[in-house]
Amino acid sequence: MKTKVIKLNPNFPEERLINEAAEVLKNGGLVVFPTETVYGIAANILNKDTIDRLYEIKKRPKDKPFSVHIADFDSLKQLGIVLSKDAERVAKRFWPGPLTLVALNDKKEKIGLRMPDNRIAVSLIKKAGVSVVAPSANLSGNKPPVSIGEVLLEMDGHVDIILDGGRARIGIESTVMDVTEKPFKILRQGAIPAKEALTDYVLLFVCTGNSCRSVMAKGLMEKFVNEANLSEKVHIDSAGTSTFAGIGAAPNTISVMKEEGVDVSRHISKNINKDILKRSDIVFVMEKFHRDVMINLMPEIKDRVRLLKEGQDIPDPIGRSLEEYKNILGVIKEEVSNIFLEIFKEEKK
């Protein structure tokens, strides 16, 4: 058979072309499409012949079920899925994104669920109007493809349509987590680190350059958490609104934190982005304008953004004396200590 390749703009995919692929998918065809992790093969779950064909093409044992890809949370009801409160919290933290959840449907059957963070993928699933399974577009046991060239090596002539959306943004398979019972279990390590996926809280500290204030706050919170033996319950991160990604902590930051017994010499700065914000339960910022940046970037997280010092900005010490760094550290330490007690008072009892 001849495989049709359709090239799409990943940011502004042409609806007419996706409609064509969706119609093929709905009627029993196999469509390769991009996600943020790797390329997948979409098939209509209700078409037995198509599913059999997919197993044959993949050379995959039939006792290994395929995960279902969904476009939104409403699709869970259609699949008979009701997530527990804790499982729903995990889903909302990482979806859409590189996490596959294994949950129980209303027949008590385990089913893998994935909500991709890719415009082409979401549009294809919505337009097909059917439940879609989508394993990676490779022979079973081989490396999943992240580009159209890699897809063609194994799938050309075996699938009906390939949607070329460019190179996969992340390029690593999704993390797979079983949420059918507590404690949740990581079945496959992927794009999301296991500790971050399993944690109860994700706290984020944000300043401008991610080399001074947010580094201090993160280091202090990690110290408090470790001393209370709560490190398994919380993931702590930091970022900047305007930083040179990849630089280290400021020398004075390293010095004052060393006096606190915290080593931040290996810190690597990074800029804030939607992925980091989406995964954070609470975002602590140093200045009011940082809050504005967060909300402008992702309006839906407005209620999760807080000033570290309520009602007041904490000034940036960059370029100032060591004594000024010590003063700023003192302010940050007091606020972080209060926040720690506020969030973890129940766990400490």
Mean pLDDT of the chain: 95
With beta carbons less than 8 A apart as the criterion, state whether 197 and 209 touch: no
Structure tokens at 305: 């953004």
Read off the amino acid at residue 128. Answer: A
Residue 245 banded pLDDT, cuts 50, 70, 90: confident
Q: Is the pLDDT of residue 294 over 60?
A: yes
| Residue 47 confidence (pLDDT) | 97
Q: Label residue 110 exposed, middle or buried (CB < 10 Å: 0-12, 13-18, 19+).
A: exposed
- The residue type found at 326 is K
Which sequence spans correspond to the domains of the chain? Answer: 4-192, 199-348
CA distance between the termini of the chain? 66
pLDDT digits (tens, 9 = 90+) for 46-58: 999 999 999 999 9
Report the candidate in 239, 233, 240 with the shortest Cα–Cα distance to residue 196: 233
Distance from C-alpha of 245 to C-alpha of 195, rounded to nearest angstrom: 23
Class of domain 4-192: alpha beta
pLDDT at 346: 57
CA distances 211 to 239, 289, 321, Å, are: 9, 17, 15
User: 233 or 191: whose pLDDT is higher?
Assistant: 191
CATH topology of domain 199-348: Rossmann fold (3.40.50)
- The pLDDT assigned to 208 comes to 98
With contact defined as beta carbons under 8 Å apart, do 273 and 190 qualify? no
| Tens-digit pLDDT profile for residues 108-157 | 999 999 999 999 999 999 999 999 999 999 999 999 999 999 999 999 99
* Peptide bond just before 61 cis, omega within 30 deg: no
How far is the C-alpha of 84 from the C-alpha of 182, rounded, in Å? 10
**Distance of alpha carbon 211 from alpha carbon 239, whole angstroms:** 9
Q: Considering only CA atoms, which of 243, 183, 175 is closest in space to residue 207? A: 243
